[in-house]
Structure 1
Amino acid sequence: MKIIIGSDHAGFEYKKELKNWLESEGHSLTDIGPFEYDENDDYPKYSFLVAQKVSKEKNTFGLIIAKTGIGETIVANKVKGIRAVSFLGKTNKKFLEMSRIHDDTNVLCFGSEFVKLNHAKKSIKIWLTTKFSHAKRHERRLKEISDYEKKHLKN
């Protein structure tokens, strides 16, 4: 599976660990940065970069790691074609599965402050292996979102 990964300073160490793990699982990764720790970097830059790359490449997923995952989700969802979801450490399996089955989410955001690394790995695996259902009602709803984006978003 092709994955675009990025972080800010708060997710920098997690990103390094997750990259190694994801590559060992056989995934193809593109790291959009940062490549050096900078405590003054800002999450919007990297969140936009991940989301823009995912929106342009078919069959690609994005991972954004920061302090909370909340702002990153807001940013990613500003990009046309992105359906980002954030999760906290207590997020259960069903939540992640439903985000894929019902909403075909393509970017997963989380925070190093709330999610332990081992839980992040388990959660990412669930999210990546769960398929969109293609049920008519879910496809209809995604089309409504897409139609809105085409009408109102320029990117």
Structure 2
Amino acid sequence: MKIAIGSDHVGYEMKRDIMAYLIEKGIECKDFGPYSTERADYPDFAVAVSKAVINGEYDKGILICGTGIGISIAANKVNGIRAVVCSEPYSAQLSRQHNDTNILAFGARVIGIELAKMIVDHWLQANYEGGRHQGRVDKIKAIEKSQSTQ
């Protein structure tokens, strides 16, 4: 599995910790920036990670900002991205199982590193169930398609 990861300046330290955690687990990941705690705008990194996921260069993405909200909103503007912001493991797991999310976001000012690791684990270990959920995912895709033709 290959994970694209990005943040803003607020999420920089947690991003580094999550990357180390993933690498320790044998998961390949790439840092899409920023590369310091100098002020940085989260939409730039949300788009870079989203494009890497959509283009198939990476299987999934992880994004971190202060709350996870802004960076997930930016990611969700990219067609084909289904980003979820989570502050606990159960929602992360269900987002994969029911919504086939491909980007996980969380907030460095909202959760600590140990909870972040638990959320990441639940999200990565869960698989999309398809079935009754597929129709809903297809409707989301249809909304994206209709927006791209306007």
* TM-score under structure 1 length normalisation: 0.90
- 1:59 is displaced (CA, Å) by 6.4
Distance 1:95 1:141 in 2: 17
Corresponding residue for residue 30 of structure 1: 30
Aligned structure 1 segments of 4 or more residues deviating by more than 6 angstroms: none
Q: Report how far residue 96 of structure 1 moved.
A: 1.6
2:107 maps to which of 111, 115, 127 = 111
**Number of the residue aligned with 1:87:** 86
Letter in 2 for 1:60: D
1:5 aligns with 2:5: yes
* 3-state DSSP of counterpart to 1:102: helix
CA deviation after TM superposition for structure 1 residue 58, in Å: 6.7
Gaps of 5+ in 1: none
Relative to 1, partners in 2 of residues 1:8 and 1:127: Cα closer, same or farther, differing over 3 Å?
Answer: same
Question: Of 90, 95, 102, which aligns to 1:99?
Answer: 95
Look up the match of 1:129: 125
The worse-fitting range, judged by mean Cα deviation, of 108-117 and 50-59 is 50-59
Please state whether the residue corresponding to 2:109 is helix, strand or coil.
coil
Match of 2:42 in 1: 43
Cα offset, 1:148, TM superposition: 2.1
For residue 99 of structure 1, report the CA deviation from its aligned partner: 0.6
Distance 1:74 1:150 in 2: 18
Deviation, structure 1 residue 37: 2.5
What is the count of residue pairs matched by the alignment?
A: 149
Mapped partners of 2:25, 2:138: distance in 1: 33
Matched, 1:53 2:29: no
Structure 1 residue 150 and structure 2 residue 145: aligned?
Answer: yes
Q: Distance in 1 between matches of 2:110 and 2:37?
A: 20
Q: Secondary structure at the match of 2:133?
A: helix
Q: Give the match for residue 133 of structure 2.
A: 138
- Any conservation in 1 of the 2:2–2:60 contact (CA below 8 Å)? yes
* TM-score, length of structure 2 as denominator length: 0.93
Once structures 1 and 2 are overlaid, which stretch shifts more, 67-76 or 53-62?
A: 53-62
Q: Please give the secondary structure, in 1, of the residue aligned with 2:99.
A: coil
Identity among equivalent positions (%) equals 38
Matched residue SS, 1:9: coil
Aligned-pair RMSD on alpha carbons? 1.4
**Stretches of structure 2 lacking an aligned partner (at least 5 in a row):** none
